[in-house]
A = this chain, B = another copy of it.
């Protein structure tokens, strides 16, 4: 019990340490490029520092660490890609929250971008974050120890994950599925794109930058596919059962909107079981990796059990 508590504390310190590293890097990269007038910069910063857990950048760094890279010595080689993942994630949230999409007023406990800056600036802030992600990954003064072909491949992996067959395609499926009866298969496919694709890309990019061999890459990808889906099931469960004060957004909003969710299709108990099974499969995929993959194993637990 004491050991378990200590382990948990260690992992929470790990998460906090990485979050600080990512936050500092995001600040530094943003400030390299402040436009005049700075309105759009304010809007970008507002959403980027609105309390995100930095799951994707941390997964990217942890994947790299699992293969012996990504630690403090390697931060300069991996942080631009890790931060780009967070920028793309944040852009997708800003656009998803727009009145024409999910029309959400709150996110992570604070008003959404369009409530603060207006719809026009919110659309442009999303566009700016998406564009900025690619600026960052291609900058000549960063990642100088990574060979350009590898950097190009990282950009390709992340762009594909963010595109029509990934993140954007998932959002289209989500919008068009509202109020309709859906099959479990459709739900899997939607979430594999909407949430799964970028989570998977985080792990692939981390592995790529660490020089993963095909077997290690396969392990990271199986891990990524499984936690991507369990992440979304956990999200759906939180929307049903979560506490508005902890979650920072309205709970029950999925149901009132007629969204197709795992709890709606399978019930809460079955959904919880499925999330745990996926988490176990994710961890099992890492069996050939040594103790350096421990943060990834803990991250799988964290993703399924989180309260916000």
Q: Using a CB–CB distance below 8 Å, which chain A residues touch chain B?
A: 33, 35-37, 39-41, 44, 91, 95, 98, 100-101, 118-121, 123-124, 126-128, 130-132, 134-135, 138-140, 147-149, 151-153, 155-156, 159-160, 162-165, 168-169, 171-173, 175-176
- Give the distance in Å from the alpha carbon of A36 to the alpha carbon of B172 in the complex: 10
Contact yes or no, A156 B175, CB < 8 A: no
Nearest chain B CB to A245 CB, angstrom units: 30
Give the number of copies in the complex: 2
Once bound together, how far apart are the Cα atoms of A165 and B135, in whole Å?
11
For residue A127, which residue of chain B has the nearest CB? B168
Tell me the complex Cα distance, A89–B40, Å.
19
Nearest Cβ on chain B to A88's Cβ, whole angstroms? 9
Q: Say whether, besides A39-B176, A176-B39, A155 and B155 are in contact (CB < 8 Å).
A: yes
Known contacts being A35-B165, A172-B40, is A138 close to B124, with CB within 8 Å? no
- Minimal Cβ-Cβ distance residue in B for A169: B35
Secondary structure type dominating chain A contacts: helix
**Contact indicator A40/B164 (Cβ below 8 Å):** yes
> Is the CB–CB distance between A130 and B130 below 8 Å?
yes
Most buried by B among A33, A121, A159: A159
Can you give 19 A-B contacts (C-beta < 8 A)? Answer: A35-B164, A44-B164, A95-B123, A98-B123, A100-B123, A128-B164, A128-B168, A131-B162, A131-B164, A131-B168, A132-B159, A132-B164, A135-B160, A138-B152, A138-B159, A140-B156, A148-B151, A152-B152, A155-B155
Chain B nearest Cβ from A93, distance in angstroms: 12
Q: Are B148 and A152 in contact (CB under 8 A)?
A: yes
Assembly CA distance A173 to B165 (angstroms)? 33
Residues of B contacting A98 in the complex (Cβ-Cβ under 8 angstroms): 123
Q: How far is the CB of A33 from chain B (nearest CB, A)?
A: 6
Of all chain B residues, the one with the shortest Cβ separation from A141 is B156
Most central of A139, A147, A163 by chain B CB within 10 Å: A163
Query: Please, which residues of chain B bring their CB within 8 A of the CB of A175?
Result: 120-121
Q: Which of A118, A126, A134, A140 has the most CB of B within 10 A?
A: A134
Could you say which residues of chain B place their CB within 8 Å of the CB of A127?
A: 91, 95, 126-127, 130, 168
Q: Which of A120, A131, A153, A173 has the most CB of B within 10 A?
A: A131
* Residue on B nearest A88 in the bound complex, by CB: B131
Asked if A172 contacts B33 (CB within 8 A), the reply is no
- Taking the closest CB of chain B, its distance from the CB of A198, in whole angstroms, is 11
Q: Determine the distance from Cα of A292 to Cα of B160 in the docked complex, in whole angstroms.
A: 37
Q: Is the CB of A132 within 8 A of B163?
A: yes
Asked if A135 and B152 make an inter-chain contact with CB atoms under 8 angstroms apart, the answer reads: no
Are B168 and A40 in contact (CB-based, < 8 A)? yes
Chain B residues near A44 (CB-CB < 8 A)? 164
